[in-house]
Amino acid sequence: MVFPVRGKSILLIIGGGIAAYKSLELVRRLAERGVKSRAILTRAGAEFVTPLSLASLTGDQVYQDLFSLTDEARMGHIELSRSADLVVVAPATADLMAKMANGLAGDLASTALLATDKPVLMAPAMNVRMWESPSVRRNFETLTRDGVRFVGPNDGEMACGEFGPGRMAEPLEIVAAIERALSDDGPLKGVRALVTAGPTREPLDPVRYIANRSSGKQGYAIADALARAGAETILVSGPVALAAPAGVRIMRVATAREMLAACEAALPADVAVMTAAVADWRPEIALNSKIKKNGDAPDIRLVENPDILAQLARHAMRPRLLIGFAAETDDVVAHALAKRTRKGADWIIANDVSGDVMGGDRNRVHLVSAAGVEDWPDMTKTDVAARMTARIARQLRGTA
């Protein structure tokens, strides 16, 4: 098989964390694809993997010390920071993230991150409380704004016994993200994309909720297609039974209000595609204990949820191209035209959901924009995603 990344090289910075052992596997997987790795091992990283095992796998010396005469004689740290096509930090610890976000340069790893002129990809790994701490959130936002790409962290059980986001992405996921970062021919390279998908769940009590039949398939297919085209893609997803597409950063939410907060946190974005079937209403009160049967049916008062699409349209960081979906059962195009104006979207992708579109694999859509209405033929959701991605690339180039 021919891989597009054959012949490229990365500078791998290994921070101190239990996930460091996965980085050895990463080096092997990259070598299989013809990607050469050169490694910097931090002092803490060397507590988890040995320089010897790393040197055998990379087939090169391992760089450890900013002030080592031997290392500097072989390759100066500035040259080292620019010697590869991409800098990959895996595991990216809270410490390395903080150093890069603040421009510190007290050791070889942070100096290389500060001195490099190449794109940087980080695969964070840390305890869930650390990942969710305000300072790591702040550093993450700063780094994202500075153009650093991220893969993971994933949800899961951590080595420390806790559960939640913080596990480093698996080696093959990191490989996929590296392949994306290295393939410079994607039509959406340099573009930031936000996609919402799936239903939202609005709780009545701890065991019951209001939701809808959205499967998330169309939104996941769009996120996948955008990322494949080179866009840095964030997928804000309601509860669905789908795996995150490789190389896409996923933010999982349950309610409409959580979805709105996640979207706002994900800005700025060049393009936003809102495929989520957001529940229009939520129970006014979500009870803390289960509603019991006592002879009377409960009186449930509903209140309106925020309209995420409309709020992004009014946002100070409004995406350049804002795309909504309109699920309709009748007068599809007429409703879509009205929705476009009402919500302030640039495009509305209208589809007729009176059949088996929800949960199915096919879709028939109409693209409603200021230029008019395009009727697309019936096709798979994957094909809708590919065609939309091509249209998005054309549109963004035209308005750049």
State yes or no: residue 327 binds ligand CTP (CB under 6 A). yes
The stretch near ligand CTP (CB under 6 A) out of 60-68, 82-90, 264-272, 319-327 is 319-327
Cβ-proximal residues to 30 (8 Å cutoff; 6+ apart), any chain: 10, 36, 37, 175, 178
Active site residue 263: no
We find the least distance from the C-beta atom of residue 362 to ligand CTP, in angstroms, to be 19
The whole-angstrom separation of Cα 275 and Cα 322 is 11
State yes or no: residue 326 binds ligand CTP (CB under 6 A). yes
Is the bond preceding residue 298 a cis peptide, omega within 30 degrees?
no
The stretch near ligand CTP (CB under 6 A) out of 20-28, 61-69, 244-252, 323-331 is 323-331
Check the CA dihedral 250-254-255-256 and report its sign.
positive
State yes or no: residue 324 binds ligand CTP (CB under 6 A). yes
Binding footprint of ligand CTP, residue count (CB under 6 A): 15
Instruction: Return the residues of window 273-312 that contact ligand CTP according to CB under 6 A.
Output: 274, 276, 278, 280, 305, 307-309
Task: Name the catalytic one among 160, 287, 291, 373.
Answer: 160
Inter-residue contact 42 to 65 (CB < 8 Å)? no
We find the least distance from the C-beta atom of residue 337 to ligand CTP, in angstroms, to be 13
Instruction: Return the residues of window 130-189 that contact ligand CTP according to CB under 6 A.
Output: none
Binding mask 191-230 for ligand CTP (x = CB under 6 A): -----x----------------------------------
33, 325, 385, 392: which one contacts ligand CTP (CB under 6 A)?
A: 325
* 257's tokens: 């209000």
We find the least distance from the C-beta atom of residue 306 to ligand CTP, in angstroms, to be 6
Cβ-proximal residues to 383 (8 Å cutoff; 6+ apart), any chain: none
Instruction: Return the residues of window 240-279 that contact ligand CTP according to CB under 6 A.
Output: 256, 274, 276, 278
Inter-residue contact 65 to 76 (CB < 8 Å)? no
Active site residues: 160
**Chain residues that interact with ligand CTP, rule: CB under 6 A:** 196, 256, 274, 276, 278, 280, 305, 307-309, 324-327, 339
